Structure 1
Amino acid sequence: MPTLNIQTNVPLDGVVTSDILKDASKAVAQILSKPESYVLISLRGGIPMSFGGTEEPAAYGELISIGGVGPDTNKRLSAAISDILKTKLSVPSNRFYIKFFDVKRSDMGWNGSTF
């Protein structure tokens, strides 16, 4: 059930978003050692956003998972996602924040129930 939500001020017109979604999905599944069939990635572009007082390319992400997150894993996830954003959207690594959430099974719904 890992879920990665990314918002960026970069317009997505002309961007092959499926490549970003595929790369992020694979990275999240691999790093968290979770089945990719449970990974959800969302990407919203063209969001008004200021980082450091400028509107240059920037992004914010949130990764939610039932377990698997922690200091070492979070560093690896941050690096992988940052690399995808830099390569695919030209968002510099120093203009991207990501917050990690480790949630209880009872706090995530799926298939009409909870995990």
Structure 2
Amino acid sequence: MPCLDISTNVNLDGFDTDSLFSDLTKAFVMILVKGSVALSFGGNREPAALAEIVAMSVINTEMKRKLIATIGSILQNKLCIPRTRFVLKVFDATVAGKNSKL
């Protein structure tokens, strides 16, 4: 299962992240959420997020669409980040590992 790293400009101080982690854990093994990040999207600092997924298997287009929909819904419902202000970056670790000497 993939790992998820979310950076957002939303201040998470005092926010109960348990329900956020609970929802995200259904799809991801490891989750990292960083709040209060200096992040501008579209030239302004309204709530926005960048999510990065590192997967140990190929994530095809259909899977990406489902992940975008799932993560987007959670961010909108839990952190009030509109789906239009969320970007997902996917990294396939198996491709990088094929040329690795480790």
Instruction: Tell me if both proteins adopt one fold, taking TM over 0.5 as the criterion.
Output: yes
Q: Deviations over 1:4-28 (max 9, x none)?
A: 00000000023211111111110x2
Aligned CA distance change for structure 1 residues 14 and 48 (closer, same or farther; 3 Å) = same
Structure 1's consecutive aligned runs of 4 or more residues displaced over 6 angstroms after TM superposition are: none
| Residue correspondences, number | 98
Equivalent residue runs for 1:49-60 within 5 Å: 49-60=39-50
* Identical aligned residues as a percent: 39
TM-score, normalisation: structure 2: 0.88
Task: Tell me the equivalent position of 1:78.
Answer: 68
Alignment partners' CA distance in 1, 2:46 and 2:59: 30
Task: Tell me the equivalent position of 1:40.
Answer: 30
TM-score, normalisation: structure 1: 0.79
Alignment partners' CA distance in 1, 2:58 and 2:16: 29
Q: Deviations over 1:65-99 (max 9, x none)?
A: 11151100010001000100000000000000011
Alignment partners' CA distance in 2, 1:25 and 1:9: 21
- The unaligned stretches of length 5 or more in structure 2 are none
CA RMSD of aligned residues (A): 1.7
- The unaligned stretches of length 5 or more in structure 1 are 30-38, 108-113
> Would the aligned equivalents of 1:21 and 1:42 in 2 still touch at CA under 8 Å?
no
